[in-house]
Amino acid sequence: MTTRRRFLQSSLLTAGALALPGAGAAPVKSGAKVVSTWDFGVGANGAAWKVLSTGGSALDAIEAGARWAESDLCNATVGHCGYPDRDGVLTLDASIMDGDGRCGAVAALEDIAHPVSVARAVMEKTPHVMLVGQGAQQFAIAQGFEKTPLLTDDARKAWREWLKTSEYKPVINAERAGRPGSKPGDKHNHDTLGILAIDNNGKLAGACTTSGMAWKLHGRVGDSPIVGAGLYVDNEVGAATASGVGEEMIRNAASFLVVELMRQGRSPMDACREAIERVVRKRPEASKSLQVCFLALNKHGEVGAFALHRGFVYAICDTAKQDALLDAKSVYTTAQT
Ligand code: SD4
């Protein structure tokens, strides 16, 4: 390897303030809040809330929440216990972004337990936004992250079982706690943690972390580490994140779309619904058999969510609600096969 250089974060952004419209607009104070995708979002929110409720920043809060999900031993779709690709290799994707447009991401990262923190290090310690594969791992190790084999026995067993058919056919909803829309026997082959927060200073941040689609082609990267697809945050407007089959989010620059729709005055719910309808209009047939879900939080603390198929749940935590889990509305209201 060539001599490692310490990257200095660009000072250009702070050196000269640009007089752009809206730049420097005072943040709106709505009270701290954190929202997350899926039922495991309740635990992630709990970890984030510990930070927010003691005056911590949205950025620290969402990192804490994402780290919680990455270490959750019951989660076959995020972090440590994720299911591997078709070659039996567990590869992790994650991104992080704050409302000032700072962002970092890692994709196809192997054997590092907390990809969200590596993504944060990419954001804070390099002049880049995304590192992938071996380069991402090398960077993580250089930053002091431990390299450790992550694939669990359960995940290896599930992969061996999958090899018997070797059919790549994502289920609409992973079976978990009787989730509607899932059928017995459906296995956890997707679901990502997307987490968005606003802090007491009205600053927003978000993160997205996943093992991606189980049984994906080796080298496949989903939407979660792609800023604008799986995650987008802007203090002037709000934040959005996504879960489901990431190819659809990438095709539609979906999280960016949701934020831009909110910028035009749509509520978070309406923005998520419009983005889902865009997915359907682009690929009406395909959309019948795959899941796509959006979650959004605007700068006023309003929350919205919408999915293609029923079964998407999201968690909210603020001073009023500590562990609320809500059902999102969907385009298709009956379980599809
Ligand atoms: C991906 N969006 O890699 C992720 C997976 C996911 O529900 O969220 N599944 O495409």
CA distance 41 to 47: 10
Which one from 37, 91, 126, 192 is the annotated catalytic residue? 192
User: Which of 311, 127, 123, 324 minimizes the C-alpha distance to 233?
Assistant: 123
Is residue 191 in contact with ligand 1, taking CB distance under 6 Å? yes
In this structure, is residue 49 part of a structural domain? yes
In this structure, is residue 8 part of a structural domain? no
Ligand 1 atom with minimal separation from the 37 CA: 8
Is residue 222 in contact with ligand 1, taking CB distance under 6 Å? yes
How far, in Å, from the CA of 130 to the mean position of ligand 1?
A: 18
The CATH number of residue 80's host domain is 3.60.20.30
Active site residue 152: no
Counts of helices then strands in the chain (DSSP H, E): 9, 13
Tokens of 84: 């591997």
**Number of domains composing the chain:** 1
User: Which of 223, 203, 217, 118 minimizes the C-alpha distance to 166?
Assistant: 217
Is residue 245 in contact with ligand 1, taking CB distance under 6 Å? yes
CA distance 310 to 327: 8
In this structure, is residue 22 part of a structural domain? no
In this structure, is residue 7 part of a structural domain? no
In this structure, is residue 225 part of a structural domain? yes
How does pLDDT run along the chain (337 residues), one tens digit per residue? 333 343 333 333 333 333 343 344 444 456 999 999 999 999 999 999 999 999 999 999 999 999 999 998 777 788 888 889 999 999 999 999 999 999 999 999 999 999 999 999 999 999 999 999 999 999 999 999 999 999 999 899 989 999 999 888 777 776 554 444 444 444 455 689 999 999 999 999 999 999 999 999 999 999 999 999 999 999 999 999 999 999 999 999 999 999 999 999 999 999 999 999 999 999 999 999 999 999 999 999 999 999 999 999 999 999 888 789 999 999 998 655 4
In this structure, is residue 18 part of a structural domain? no
How far, in Å, from the CA of 244 to the mean position of ligand 1?
A: 4
In this structure, is residue 19 part of a structural domain? no
In this structure, is residue 87 part of a structural domain? yes
CA distance 334 to 337: 10
CA distance 217 to 210: 15
Question: Where in the sequence is the domain holding 249, given as residue range(s)?
Answer: 30-332
User: Which of 211, 207, 263 minimizes the C-alpha distance to 234?
Assistant: 263
CA separation, residue 257 to residues 75, 124, 152, 248, 333 (Å): 29, 26, 36, 12, 23
Tell me which amino acid residue 319 is. T
